């Protein structure tokens, strides 16, 4: 609107002061009109000047640099998009290494339970769920001891463990899990599945030694049975002490506000590069609510790296060998 107003104020004198033809100059006007087939009308002049002025203003606006606030907003939007893309890639690359674990019990009367699963041609009910991650290409799965405690302490042979995973091609698989070794004092267990002829993707192992409070972290697991769930947060604290299943204490735990709920136990806690920095283990819940309070804990991966090889080879932690 300002551009139009400016043009009109310039054009007004052109309309009012245009010279009129006198009778004495009729012959010259006649001759000039004969030399020009299309005389330029005053209205046409106005339109030409207005159009030219619009082009000049538009060109100026394009060449005019953005204000600092506009540049800051554009940069912020670009950084946000880059961060979202990075988290998406992190999930896509690491989620195939995370498994879904179902604790099962063989039953005689399947009509008395909600969910029934067939195991070795027998019917079983689901007693609990958890998470785990692929440790190596031989089919070893790392999880929490409390996820498979019933299987580990089974006295009558009625407990089973079903593990759901994907291969490198993205095909969904389910296998029976067998316990290789357990360490209740650190709440760790190693399972094994038969993956003959199948390629799987183990996790990338990181380190918790150089973590800083405020650093971003990500938890992948199966809370309440919802497979491949990603939650995000930060490292809220380091060097925490949490109770173990056998009544002892697990020292050096990582505290995070990344949501960890029932079914997340045993899944990986990741850093920004997709490296495992801990095993999601426990959460404080508001009394009577069953909901996470945002105070969650993971066993540092450095502890896991020390214990898991002994569980694979000896079936027990080094301190319990003799």
Buried/exposed 206-235: b ≥16 CB within 10 Å, e otherwise? bebeebeeeeebbbbbbbeeebebbbbbeb
> Which one, of 295, 241, 228, lies nearest residue 268 by Cα?
228
Contact predicate 147/163, CB 8 Å: no
Matching residue, tokens 């979202």? 84
Q: How far apart are CA 129 and CA 112, in angstroms?
A: 19
Catalytic residue among 97, 183, 185, 187: 187
Contact predicate 192/178, CB 8 Å: yes
146 assigned to active site: yes
Catalytic residue among 97, 131, 140, 146: 146
- Containing 80, the helix (H) or strand (E) segment is helix 68-94
Residue 185: phi and psi, rounded to 5, are -65, -25
Contact predicate 280/96, CB 8 Å: no
Buried/exposed 168-183: b ≥16 CB within 10 Å, e otherwise? eeeeeeebebbbbbbb
Catalytic residue among 265, 271, 282, 292: 265
Torsional sign, CA 101, 107, 111, 112: negative
Catalytic residues: 146, 187, 265
């Amino acid at each position: 609107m300002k551009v139009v107003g400016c043009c009109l104020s310039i054009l007004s004198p052109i309309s009012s002061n245009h010279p009129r033809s006198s009778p004495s100059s009729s012959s010259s006007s006649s001759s000039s009109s004969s030399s020009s087939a299309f005389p330029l009308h005053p209205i046409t002049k106005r339109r030409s000047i207005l159009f030219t002025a619009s082009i000049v203003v538009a060109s100026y606006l394009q060449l005019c640099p953005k204000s600092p606030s506009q540049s800051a907003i554009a940069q912020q939007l670009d950084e946000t998009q880059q961060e979202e893309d990075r988290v998406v890639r992190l999930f896509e690359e690491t989620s195939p290494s995370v498994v879904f674990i179902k604790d099962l019990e063989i039953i005689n009367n399947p009509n008395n339970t909600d969910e029934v699963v067939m195991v070795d041609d027998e019917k079983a009910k689901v007693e609990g769920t958890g998470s785990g991650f692929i440790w190596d290409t031989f089919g070893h799965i790392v999880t929490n001891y409390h996820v498979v405690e019933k299987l580990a302490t089974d006295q009558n042979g009625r407990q089973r463990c079903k593990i759901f995973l994907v291969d490198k091609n993205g095909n969904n698989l389910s296998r029976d899990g067998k316990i290789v070794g357990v360490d209740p004092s650190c709440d760790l267990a190693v399972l094994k599945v038969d993956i003959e002829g199948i390629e799987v993707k183990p996790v990338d192992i990181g380190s918790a030694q150089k973590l800083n409070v405020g650093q971003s972290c990500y938890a992948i697991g199966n809370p309440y049975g919802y497979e491949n769930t990603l939650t995000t947060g930060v490292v809220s604290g380091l060097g925490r002490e949490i109770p173990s299943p056998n009544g002892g204490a697990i020292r050096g735990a990582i505290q995070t506000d990344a949501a960890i709920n029932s079914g997340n136990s045993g899944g990986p806690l990741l850093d920004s590069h997709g490296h495992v920095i801990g095993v999601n283990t426990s959460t404080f819940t508001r009394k009577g609510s069953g909901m996470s309070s945002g105070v969650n804990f993971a066993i540092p991966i450095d502890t896991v790296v020390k214990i898991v090889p002994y569980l694979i080879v000896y079936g027990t932690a080094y301190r319990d060998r003799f």
